[in-house]
Chains A and B, each alone.
Chain A
Amino acid sequence: MKRIDIARRAARNLKQAKIRTLLTALAISVGAFTLTLSLAIGAGTREYFAKFLETNVNPQSLFVVADKNLVGFSGGNSDPKEYDPNAASFGGGASYKTLGESDLTKIRANKNISGVQPNYNLQATYFTYQGNTKKFTGSIMMYDKMIRGEAAAGKLPLLGQMIGADDVVVPESYLKALGVNKPADAIGKTITVRVTQPVKKLSETELQNIYAAGGLDALAAVTQGKTKDVTFTISAVAAKPATALGDTNQLAISDTKAHELTDFTTEGTAQYQRYLGAVAMVKDGVKPENAKAELEKSGYVVKTARDLQGILFTVVNVVQGIVAGFGVLALLASVFGIINTQYISVLERTGQIGLMKALGMSGRAIGKLFRYEAAWIGFLGAILGALGGIGLGTLLNPWISRKMSLGAGSHLLIFQPLPICLLILALVLVAIVAGWFPSRKAARLDPIEALRTE
C-alpha cells in the first residue's frame, strides 16, 4: 500500500472522529503554545540584550577580576578557604582575590591597553539632601562610563566620558524618599556624603603614648574614627532602567571622588587599595579577544563585552528553559493522551483492522496507518498551539513593551518562522512516537481473531 494512500486514509479516519481528534490535539496544543512562547521569549530577550549591549557597552572594554568566582554565575563561594594576604573579605564572609595597585599598573603597562579603571567599593555612612535634615543610607558607586543610561532630567555625558568631579547622578527611584516631586527640581541641588574611617586598633603602649602627648582629646580622636563630609551637585537624574542590567539604583559619583572616598574609608584595613575588579580599555585596532588572551596569561580573569553578552544569554537560557520545561510537561501529558486515544481507537476498529489484513494489507502498513493518524493529531495540535501562541503574543507584545518600557520597536516576544516550523516538526515526531505503542498493537492483531469480533 502506498504511503500517500495510507496518509489519506489516516486523515479521513480522523475527520470521521472530529471531536476526539480535536480534543487530543488540544492537549498537544497546550505544549506547543508554551514552547512557542518560550522560543519567542528567548529570541526576543536575546535580541533585546544584544541591541542593548551594542548601544550601551563599549565593545573595546574588558572586565578584569582576579577571582573567577566573581564572574559568571557560580556566585561567591563561602566554603572556608586558605588564608591569602591579598584576599579581602567583602561582606557575607565571602573572601575574594583582589586586584592591587601593582596589578593595575601591570595591566596599564600592557601594550594593548589604553587605560584601566578599578571598581571602587565605596561604603558611605550616610548622605543628606539639600534642604532635608534626614540622613539616608544607600549605595554609592562610581559612575559607569561604559554603560550609558537615560536621564530623566539633567544631562549625562556621552558613552565613555566621566561626569564632572563634583557631580552626582541620582536614580529616579530615590526622589520620592528625598522629597523631590519632579526630576528636574533636583538638578543643581546638592547631596552631602559622610564617610567614616575605621578605628585603628592600637596597642596599650601606643594609646598611653597618645595620651601622654595630647591628653584625653587626642585619645578620643583616635578611638572614635575620623569622618569626612563631601558635597556633590546633582547633574542628572537617571531614568528607571529598562533592564536590570543598567543597575542605576545607586548614587553615581565621579572616578576621582570615588577613589578618594574609597581610600579614605579603607585606610588601615585589608581592603585598602585593593579592588574586586577593574575595567580596562583596549586600544583601538586591537581585538578585545586578543587583549583578553594576553591578560589571562598574566593570571587575571577577563571578560570581554561579548562574554558579558554570553553571561546575560545564560540568564535568558535559564528563563527560557523554565518556560520550555512547563511546555515539555504539558507535552508529556498529551503523549499519554495520544496513546490512550489511539489505543481505544485500535480496540474499536478491530474488525476493520482484521478486514484490512485479510485483504492483504501488511502489519507494517497497518502500523503506519495508526502512526500517521497520530502524526496528523500531532500536526493539528502543533499548528493550533503555535498559532495560539503567535496570536496571543502579537496581541500582548505592545502591552508588554509598554509595561517593561522596552522602547519603541522592541518586543519581548519575537516569533521566528524557522524555529516554530522545527517545533511543529518535533511535535509531529513526538506524536508518532506516542502512536507507536497502539500502532504496534494494531499491526500485531490476529486477523482471524479480529474478524470474529463483530
Chain B
Amino acid sequence: MIELTGITKTYGKGENLFTALDNIDLTIPDATVVAVVGKSGSGKSTMMHIMSGLDRPTTGVVTVNGRKLQDLSKKELDKFRAQEISFIFQSFFVQGNDSCYDNVSLPLEIAGLPRAERPGRIAAALESVELTDKTKQKAKNLSGGQKQRLAIARAIAGRPKILFADEPTGNLDTATGAIVEKLLFDYARDNKATLVIVTHDQDLANKCQMQIYVKDGKITEVKQ
C-alpha cells in the first residue's frame, strides 16, 4: 500500500516559489493498477518520484508497505528501491553497449543477489518479454519496442512489489505500445504487484483499475 498524507513539494524561494504538489492525500491499495493522468508540468512525475523515494516531499508523509520513507536512511532508501520497487521510463534508459543479459543483470547486482541465482532470473525475465533470442545482443541493436521490453525485463527481474512506469508507451507506436502495456498488466496481475503508470494517454489510463487526475499540483479526480 502506498499512502500519501499532506504531501507538498515546492521548488525555489520567495517570488520564485513554485509549488509542484499542493497538499496531496492519496491511498493506493496493494495489487492495484493505477494511472496518474495529467499534462506535462501538472506534477504527476514529481508525485511518482516522491512515492518511489527518489525525491523527498517538502512537507507530508509517504508510507510505502507500512514504512515511512522519511525515516529511512540513505542506505535503507537505496535498499528499498533496489529490492521492493522498480522503474520503466519513456526513453528506456537501456545501456546500449551492454548485452541484453548485462542490462537485466544490473538491478540484480545492485540488490546484491548471489551470483549463482542471477542467470535463472535473467533468463526468466528475458523469456517473459520474449527476448530470449537476443540475450547476447547489444541493447543498441534492438528496435524501440524491443528496448522497452528489455527495460521491462530489467524492471521485473528483481520481482518488485511496486512497479513505476513513466510514460512507458510514449515513444512507441500503437502496436508495440500495446505489447508493452500487456506485459506490464500481466506482470502486475500474475505477481499481485502494484503498477503505477504515469501518462497523459487517456486510452491507456482507461485500462487501469484506478485513475488519478492531476492538475497544477492538485488531485482533481480519482476514479475507481
Indicate with 1 or 0, residue by residue over A327-363, a CB within 8 angstroms of chain B CB atoms. Answer: 0000000000000000000000001101111111111
Contact across chains for A354 and B110 when beta carbons are under 8 A apart:
no
**CB contact under 8 A between A360 and B107, given known A351-B93, A447-B54, A451-B89:** yes
> Given the complex, which residues of A lie within 8 Å of B87, measured CB to CB?
355, 358-359
Contacts A2-B112, A360-B110 given; does A352 touch B55 at CB 8 Å: no
Which A residues between 1 and 60 are near B, CB-CB below 8 angstroms? 1-2, 5, 9, 12-13, 16
Is A361 within 8 A of B93, CB to CB? no
A362 touches B78 (CB 8 A): yes
Min Cβ gap A266→B in Å is 84
Determine the residue in chain A with the shortest Cβ distance to B151. A355
Q: Please provide the chain A residues from 414 to 454 with a CB less than 8 Å away from any CB of chain B in the complex.
A: 447-448, 451, 454
| Cβ contacts under 8 Å, B109 to chain A | 1-2, 5, 9
Measured in the bound complex, the distance between the Cα atoms of B52 and A361 in whole Å is 14
The chain A residue with its CB closest to the CB of B166 is A451
Q: For A359, what are the chain B residues with a Cβ–Cβ distance below 8 Å?
A: 81-82, 86-87, 106-107, 110
**Most B CB within 10 A of own CB, among A358, A447, A454:** A358
**Which B residue's beta carbon lies closest to that of A1?**
B110
Do B86 and A1 touch (CB < 8 A)?
no
B80 contacts the other chain (CB 8 A): yes
Chain A contacts for B176, CB-based, 8 A: none
Q: Using Cβ atoms and an 8 Å threshold, which residues of chain A touch B189?
A: none
Residues of A within 8 A of B98 (CB): 12, 16
A447 surroundings in chain B (CB, below 8 A): 54
Q: Which residues of A contact B111 (CB under 8 A)?
A: 360
Kindly list chain A residues whose C-beta atoms are within 8 Å of the C-beta of B3.
none
Which residues of A lie under 8 Å from residue B52 when comparing CB positions? Answer: 358
With an 8 Å Cβ cutoff, the count of chain B residues facing the other chain is: 27
Q: How far is the CA of A362 from the CA of B77 in the complex (A)?
A: 9
> Does B74 make an interface contact (CB < 8 A)?
yes
Given A360-B107, A448-B55, A355-B93 contact (CB < 8 Å): yes
| A360–B93 touching, CB < 8 Å | no
Nearest chain A CB to B160 CB, angstrom units: 10
Closest to A453 in B: B91
Q: Is B5 in contact with chain A by the CB < 8 A criterion?
A: no
Q: How far is the CA of A357 from the CA of B66 in the complex (A)?
A: 23
Q: Which residues of A contact B83 (CB under 8 A)?
A: 360
Which residues of chain B are within 8 angstroms of A16 by Cβ–Cβ distance?
Answer: 97-98
Q: A361–B82 contact, CB under 8 A?
A: yes
Chain B, residues 84-119, CB within 8 Å of chain A (1/0): the string is: 001101010101011000100011011110000000
Q: Are A358 and B95 in contact (CB under 8 A)?
A: no
Asked if A352 meets B49 with Cβ closer than 8 Å, knowing A359-B86, A360-B80, A448-B55, the reply is no
Write out the residue numbers on chain A whose beta carbons fall within 8 Å of the beta carbon of B106.
9, 356, 359
Shortest beta-carbon distance from A369 to chain B in Å: 11
Shortest beta-carbon distance from B44 to chain A in Å: 14
Report the separation of the CA atoms of residues A354 and B81 in the bound assembly, to the nearest whole angstrom. Answer: 13
> When chains A and B are docked, how far (Å) is the Cα of A16 from the Cα of B99?
11
| A254 smallest CB distance to B (angstroms) | 81
Chain A nearest CB from B67 CB (Å) reads 15
Q: Which residues on A sit within 8 Å (CB–CB) of B80?
A: 360
Question: For A448, what are the chain B residues with a Cβ–Cβ distance below 8 Å?
Answer: 49, 54-55
Q: Does B75 contact A (CB under 8 A)?
A: yes
Give A17's nearest chain B residue, CB to CB.
B97
Contact A362 B75 (CB under 8 A): yes
Is B79 positioned at the interface, with any CB of A under 8 Å from its CB? yes
Q: Contact: A454 with B54, CB < 8 Å?
A: no
B74 touches A454 (CB 8 A): no
Cα distance, A211 to B75, chains bound together (Å): 110
CB atoms of A451 and B93 under 8 A apart = yes
In angstroms, how far is the closest chain B Cβ from the Cβ of A128?
84
Q: Which residues of A contact B107 (CB under 8 A)?
A: 359-360
Give the distance in Å from the alpha carbon of A9 to the alpha carbon of B107 in the complex. Answer: 13
Looking at A12, A16, A451, which has the most chain B CB atoms within 10 Å of its CB? A451
Q: How far is the CA of A417 from the CA of B54 in the complex (A)?
A: 50
CA distance A360 to B82 in the complex (A): 4
| Distance from A349 Cβ to chain B, minimum over Cβ atoms (Å) | 9
Give Cα A394–Cα B100 distance, bound, in whole angstroms.
Answer: 46
Residues of chain A having any CB pair with chain B under 8 Å: 1-2, 5, 9, 12-13, 16, 351-352, 354-363, 365, 447-448, 451, 454
Supplied contacts A359-B82, A365-B110, 10 more A-B pairs, CB within 8 Å: A2-B109, A9-B102, A12-B102, A351-B93, A354-B93, A355-B87, A360-B79, A360-B107, A361-B82, A361-B110
Q: What are the nearest 5 A-B pairs in CB distance?
A: A360-B82, A360-B81, A16-B97, A5-B109, A355-B93
